[in-house]
Structure formats: C-alpha cells, structure tokens
Amino acid sequence: MKKSSRWISLLTLLLAASMLMSACGGSSDVKTGDYTFNTYASALGTNWNPHSWEMNSDNTILSYVSQGFVDLSVKNSEEGVYQWTYEMATSITDVTAANQSDLEKYAVTLPDKEDGTKQTVAETTEGYVFEIKLREGAKWEDGTEINADSYVYSMQQLLNPEMKNYRANNYIDGESAVAGGLNYYYSGSTAYLDAAGAFAMADLTKGSDGQYVNADGQKMYIGVAFALAQTGGKTLKDYVDAYGEAYFDVTNWNTLVGMVDENGLIPLTDENLALFAPVTTGNPAWGETEADLPNYFVYAKDYPVVEYEPTVGLYKVDDYTLHYVTQGQQDLNYLLTSMTSTWLVHEATYEANKDTTGKLVTSSYNTSKETTVSYGPYRIETLQEGKQLVFVQNENWWGWQKDSDGNLYSITEFEVNGSTMQQYQATKIVMDVMEDSAAKQAFLKGELDEWAPSADDLLTYGKSDNLYKADETYTQRLFFHTNLENLKKMDASMGNTNSVVLSNANFRKAFSLAINREEFVTATAGYKPMYGILNNLYFYDVYNDPESSYRKSDAAMQAICDLYGVEYGSGKTYSTLKDAYESINGYNLQQAQALMKTACEELVAAGIYTAGQDIVIRMGWKKAATMETSDNQQVKLLNDFINAAAEGSGFGTITLEAVSGVENRYEETAQGSYAIGYGAWGGAAFYPFSMFRVYCDPSYVGTIHEAGCWDPATETLTLNVEGSDVTMTWQEWSNSLTGTGVYANKDFETKLSILAELEKNYLGFYYCIPLCSTTSCTMLSYKVSYITEDYNIMYGWGGLRLATFNYTDSQWADYIAKGDLSYE
C-alpha cells in the first residue's frame, strides 16, 4: 500500500523541520528528539522470566528488555531478502571437527547411517559443537558486565533440577536440546512420562508386587488425573468431570479417583486395569476399545544424581566464548533460529528472589519492575499493574551512542537496502491496557500509534494507506465429526436434526465444492481464499533457498490439480501445471449439486436419512461468548452455499447453526459434542514435513485433529516412492519425514512428493474443508512508518527496530490538535 501524495508532501515539510544531526562515524543522518510509541494490550504480562514465561503478553515484555544471540532482519526490502544479524553474540560457528571429544563426554545422540548402524564419533565432523563468541562490552542496566559466566550460571538455573522451570523444555528436548540437559533437569528424581501407546500389555512383565514394568524395569501406571497426549494435554479426569456418563462408564470412577497418588496416577495392575477399562471402553460415545488402553499408560524413569559439569554441554571456553553442544545433530541455520532468544538472567536479582519454601524452588525474577534487570535496548520505567507499562531507553545497552547533547541513538551494524540506518528510534514505549473498542477510539484520536482492526472495521478501513496486512500460516477450515453412531446421538439429544448426513463423503465433498471462497473472505478480517491445508508461507529449504515455497513446488501444485480434477498439457484448456493450478478456486456449483443428489440417494438407500427432511447442524464456532457481525455474515454465506448445492437433490432445507462460547471446539467436535467445528491450524512454517503429525500422530500433538473420524494408527495408505509402492499406516507416513523417519534425510524432491500425496489423500477424505488462510491486520498512525509495506515471514515489516518516526511527540500533538486525522 502506497502512501497518498498528499501525505508524502506533508511528510517532506515536517521532516525538513525535524531535528537532524550527522551520525558519529558518518553512516547516515539520524533524528533525535522525543519519540513515543503508544500501543496497547488487552492485559499486561505478569511473568516475563525467560525460564518460566508462558503467555504471549509475557514474551512481548521480555522482547523489549532482552536480546538473543542473533536476530533476523531486512537486507533488501524491495527484493524481500533477509539476513542474520548478530546481537549478544558476534559470531556462531560449527566447531564439531575440532571438538569431537565433546560428543563422547556429553553423550550426544549420534544419527543412524543408511545401513542401520550408528555413526561413530570419528565420522562426525559437524552439527554438534557450536562456538558462540559473545559481545564484549554488553552490560545489564545496572552496569554489571555480561560474560560467559553469566550464560553458564543462567543455563544451570534454567535446568536446575530443584526448580523444574517451564522453559527448560526448549533445551531438554527437541532439535536444539543441549547435550545432557535432560539428565541434569531430572537429576536425582523420578520422571513420570506419557507412554503414548508405546507399550502394549504383551510388552510388559508383572512384578512380584503385581505392578507391571516395561522391558527396562520401569514401573508402569495408569493416568487418571495425569496430562496425556491421548487427552490433548489435559487429563482424563478433566473429561469425565465435564461429560460424565454421557461419554463414559462412571461405575468405577469414584473408586479410581480415590486411589490416585500425588501425580494423578494409579499402579498398572490387573485389578486396577479391570477397574479402569470400562471407563473409556464401556460407553460407545467415547469411541475407544481395549486397543486404546495403552494410550493411558505412564512409566516412571529414575534419573541418577548428576552435576551440571560434566553433564551439560554448555560450557565456558574463555570470558567471551561459549561452546554449545547439541544433543542431536543440528544444522547451523536451525540452531541460529533457536538462538534468537536466550536463557540469560541477572544472577544477583535471580538469587535474591528465590523462594525455597515449596516443594520446588522458584524465583519471582522478572515479575515486576523491581525484579527486572534489562540488557536490551529498553528498560521498564514504570509499571501500574493491570493498567500501564512504560519503557524508556536502557542507557547501558551496548548499541547506544550519544550525540553532542547527550541524546541516545543507535546505528545498525549491518546494511539495510545498501547502507546502515538508524534503529530503535523510539525513545519511549507506552503500553496501555485497553479493550478493542477503546483502542479503536484512541487510535482514531491520535492517542495510539497502532491498532488491530476487526473484520467489521475492515469494511471501513480495508483500503487505508495505513493498513499493514500480514499473511499467517494458519488455514481456517471446517472440520467434521463423521462417526455415524455419535452423529445419531447428536441428533437425538444435542440439538441437531439429521446431522447423520455428514457421515457421507459425497455430502462433505459437495459442501466443499459449493463454497465460493472468494466471496466468503469478504466477510473475514482480510483473509485469503485457500484450497489446500498448507498455504504460501510454508518453505522447505528457506535458509538456503528463499524461494523454496512448498505451495509453489510441482508436487504441491500437482496434488491440488489432482484433487480438483484439473488437467493440463497439449490439447487441454491449460498448457502448463502452473496455469492449471492457478485456475483453481475450489468452486464448482454444478458438480456440487450432482454430488448432493448422489449423497441423498446413498443416505436414503442406507436407511440413514429420509428424503425431504430438513437438516439442522450445530457448529462449534468460537470460544468468545458473542458472535460478531462478521461471524454472522460468514455463517449466512455458508448456509447460502450449501443450500444452493442441495437444491433439487432430495435434501430438505439445511440450517447451519453457529455456537459461540465453546471452550475448546477442536476437542469437543472430536469427542462428539458438535458435528462441525470451525477453526485454524498452522505453525512450523520452515518445516512443512512435520505438518501431518497433527492429523495422524496422537503422541505428537495429543488429540489428533478430526479424531472423531478415523484411526490413523491402523488405516493404511500406499504411495509410490522412488519407483516402488510402499504401504504404511497414516501415523507411520506422518512420522516418516521427520526426526529419524525413514525418509527424513531423503532429497527434497522425494520428501515433497510424499508430503503432497499426504495432503491430497487427506483432503480427499473431506474430514476438513479448507476455507481461507488467515492474515493479521494492523493500522499504523501517520506518526510512524515501517521500513517496508511488503510483509516477509522472516522479518515481518522490520518491526519497531527499523521503524521511522515522522513526527516528534510535540509535532504530533500539534497535528492532531487540528482535528484533521482520517484513515479511511
């Protein structure tokens, strides 16, 4: 979006009047003065401790007062080129070849070779030991020096077995886990771990006390009030408390609850399993059999007492050099991604705020102004709990320079669009707590510098020059419960009428083809039509090839062409694959009407539906209590679309009823409270090969998406891979492309072909219908401009770091006093 010529002329005059000075070192002109960035939030964070924060509001505060070792920033905004920039580090390099002894010392996990044997230490020359050169001169806001000892102390506290810090999960598990971190985190304790179906009863042995153990001699338990993958990260007790006898056989339930220990577990014995089994298998509404019981098993792993050194592979080389040893082999670029944030804490403050009175040691570090010590470009000046948070420049941040009048300013160490530039121009950041309606009014009066318009607001401001629209990875979709028996129960007692029609695949396919997505998105907050599961933001090799979009690959385009039956080639309407793919809009009313007629005939013949009867289907629509205008518009369009398809088919009138105030529409749809859910899924933009685990692998994500439809652990799929037909379960296929999966280390062409086939075949079930990909819309005031108006997933719009202020605070006050502020 381009700024209007009227605005450019006004800005030119104002800039000429602004205070200007030459930057020290002569890189460019910088502006000094009072520049306040006014923003808002629905609530302020309460815990921005890097060891334990959980909410986005906490991380927002942390981002102002801390810095990672590296960051991603703009290199060329016109071409959309990104670059790594060094912040608290000055370099990070792979030094595995010169430090192979670390691999054995810290007991790293070596990869399998193609012949199935383990790679040896002598054969391993990269991907494990990384040297971090720290920035000399970095300080805390109180002037204390930051060096290698600071980071080693902080890692030791992060992994402290007496604390069990929440954010340790990023360093004890996953691709960037520090070697030995898991063993130190659990040092001298017993970890109770979700078995996630890994052990069948046949794999277990009964001990002398009657309790079963696994092959490693680890005691087995049943998770009654224990968070499990099978129950989506919640406990079975959460579900039984919520749904009771409607979904469970509760005959033995109170007895079981009375037996649980402090961890929510009971020992796995024959007697206890006999009590437990009917709970999940005795009521068809829960939809499980005895084969599912191992998903509730938990095993106890005892960890020996170990010390930080020599267990953990984060150690000091010299005062400004660290070595970071990863548990598993890691590509440098993926490691750098994890290094955009760190675990650093101020030792004296952290220790002073420790509480040792509970079962676990805790620290109230970074929970108030008094307990926060910044090492980022800003520090907290004032904090009014629940009302306002004010940041000002942290005078001891390493990046500031001073002009002759003592004003702080900073110049990038890296070039942006061919030259260095001023960064962090804001001298103050004020964050007020506001509801959306109040924020809108404050923005329109010039009191806020950013505002997130709703879908309703975009009807007015959708074409504003000040609107910044960012694509997101999330695909908004309808997802269905298709289990016929559960649909019958919804019809009998949960407000539906003839929702049994959703058990028919042709009905669901017809619904999909009836949706005019171009029209549907007009009722959204600027969303974009979507016909597949993964949108344009998914990249399979982004660090080496910024153009490596999954959606633009031949395999992905072919999959969607196959799904919608669009052909190309000599004598066809479309000559190339790209032309054919770009023609797809997902809308074919004629085909939808034919499929609806077929679906009605099939359902009548099966005795499931009586021709001519009306249909009412309740949809779990949103968590918020009330429906917005845009919600109602979307629901109306969906009703129009499906009834247009059903015209003349033999179906009666179809009514889709959207329900708001649904606590968890994903789980509740899967468990049979709603026949249709409405929501989105996304994330992992730089590794699309992991996406199908959320649909197929309950051990990965908890309750799988569309769990009411099928069992991916038993249903199989045959794909042709490298010229040979291969048959595996869907769960096995979903895991084949990640970690140590059979195809994880294959070339991209092979992996893309598998991923695309998974997408096509899954969409062909019509268990979910993609509607649109989401966007995030922000309005910026005339007071400030981002460096680019073209969003890039690697650096956004350059952020507040590279934003330019067009007015000082006093100039802005004069401008809004004239009452000439309009953003339409």
Mean pLDDT over all residues of the chain?
A: 91
Determine if the peptide bond prior to 688 is cis (ω within 30°): no
Q: Determine the Cα–Cα distance for residues 324 and 191; give it in Å rounded to an integer.
A: 25
- Residue 7, pLDDT score: 30
Q: How many residues does the chain have?
A: 824
CA atoms within 13 A on the CB side of 298: 24
Strand partners, 677: 479, 620
Residues 249, 144 within the same domain: no
The beta-carbon contacts of 437-444 under 8 Å, at least 24 apart in sequence, are: 439/40, 442/40, 443/779, 443/781, 444/821, 444/823
In a domain, 466, yes or no: no
Q: Reply yes or no on whether the pLDDT at 6 is more than 70.
A: no
Pull the structure tokens for residue 43.
């609530």
Q: Reply yes or no on whether the pLDDT at 223 is more than 70.
A: yes
In a domain, 151, yes or no: yes
The secondary structure of 230-294 as a DSSP string is TTTTS-HHHHHHHHGGGTS--TTHHHHHTT--TTSEEE--HHHHHHHHHHHHS-TTT---GGGGG
In a domain, 785, yes or no: yes
Look up the CATH number of the domain holding residue 329.
Answer: 3.90.76.10
Quick one: 702 exposed, middle or buried, by C-beta within 10 A (0-12, 13-18, 19+)?
A: buried
- Give Cα 143 distance to the centre of its chain: 36
Residues 226, 324 contacting (CB under 8 angstroms): no
**Residue 545: which pLDDT band, with cuts at 50, 70 and 90?**
confident
pLDDT winner (highest mean) among 16-20, 706-710, 730-734: 730-734
- Residue 5, pLDDT score: 27
CA atoms within 13 A on the CB side of 108: 32
Residues 686, 616 within the same domain: yes
SS3 804: strand
In a domain, 378, yes or no: no
Mean pLDDT, residues 89-98 taken together: 98
Percentage of residues in the chain with pLDDT exceeding 90?
76
Residues 782, 798 contacting (CB under 8 angstroms): no
Please write the tens of the pLDDT for every residue from 767-799.
999 999 998 899 999 999 999 988 888 899 999
Residues 798, 661 within the same domain: no
- Residue 2, pLDDT score: 32
Residues 432, 574 within the same domain: no
Percentage of residues in the chain with pLDDT exceeding 70?
95
Q: Reply yes or no on whether the pLDDT at 10 is more than 80.
A: no
Residues 182, 164 within the same domain: yes
In a domain, 365, yes or no: no
- Residue 3, pLDDT score: 32
Please write the tens of the pLDDT for every residue from 577-586.
999 999 999 9
Residues near 97 by Cβ (< 8 Å), separated by ≥ 6? 125, 126
Domain boundary among 287, 302, 317: 302
Residues 410, 399 contacting (CB under 8 angstroms): yes
Q: Determine the Cα–Cα distance for residues 194 and 818; give it in Å rounded to an integer.
A: 63
Residues 763, 475 contacting (CB under 8 angstroms): no
- Residue 703, pLDDT score: 59
Residues 616, 549 within the same domain: yes
- Residue 695, pLDDT score: 87
In a domain, 279, yes or no: yes
- Tokens 């695949």 locate to 505
Residues 113, 165 within the same domain: yes
Report which residue type is found at 746: K
Q: Select from 513, 333, 444, 495 the least CA-distant residue to 779.
A: 444
Domain boundary among 280, 302, 324: 302
SS3 730: helix
Q: Reply yes or no on whether the pLDDT at 110 is more than 50.
A: yes
The secondary structure of 278-334 as a DSSP string is HHHHS-TTT---GGGGGGGEEEEEE-----HHHHSSEEEEETTEEEEEBSS---HHH
Residues 767, 802 within the same domain: no
Mean pLDDT, residues 111-124 taken together: 85
Residues 610, 604 contacting (CB under 8 angstroms): yes
Please write the tens of the pLDDT for every residue from 169-207.
889 987 789 999 999 999 999 999 999 888 999 999 999
In a domain, 788, yes or no: yes
Q: Reply yes or no on whether the pLDDT at 251 is more than 90.
A: yes
In a domain, 374, yes or no: no
The secondary structure of 84-141 as a DSSP string is EEESSEEEEEE-GGGGTHHHHHTT--PPBPTTSPBPPGGG--SSSEEEEEEPTT-B-T
Q: Select from 11, 70, 812 the least CA-distant residue to 448.
A: 812
**pTM of the full predicted structure?**
0.77
Q: Reply yes or no on whether the pLDDT at 15 is more than 70.
A: no
> Does residue 33 come out as left (phi exceeding 0), alpha (psi in the -120 to 50 range) or beta?
left
- Residue 607, pLDDT score: 97
- Residue 9, pLDDT score: 29
Q: Determine the Cα–Cα distance for residues 755 and 770; give it in Å rounded to an integer.
A: 17
Domain boundary among 302, 323, 340: 302
pLDDT winner (highest mean) among 55-59, 299-303, 329-333: 299-303
**Residue 641: which pLDDT band, with cuts at 50, 70 and 90?**
very high
Domain of residue 254, residue span = 191-302
Q: Which helix (H) or strand (E) holds 36?
A: strand 36-41
Residues 790, 748 within the same domain: no
Rounded to whole angstroms, what are the CA distances from 605 to 261, 486, 511, 539, 543? 53, 20, 20, 46, 55
More confident call, 15 vs 570: 570
Residues 179, 250 within the same domain: no
Look up the CATH number of the domain holding residue 610.
Answer: 3.10.105.10
Rounded to whole angstroms, what are the CA distances from 822 to 202, 450, 461? 71, 14, 10
Residues 204, 332 within the same domain: no
- Residue 278, pLDDT score: 96
Residues 224, 260 contacting (CB under 8 angstroms): yes
- Residue 22, pLDDT score: 32
Residues 549, 688 within the same domain: yes
Q: Determine the Cα–Cα distance for residues 712 and 693; give it in Å rounded to an integer.
A: 10
Work out how many domains the chain is built from and give that number. Answer: 4
Please write the tens of the pLDDT for every residue from 282-329.
988 787 899 999 999 999 999 999 999 999 999 999 999 999 999 999
**Residue 266: which pLDDT band, with cuts at 50, 70 and 90?**
very high
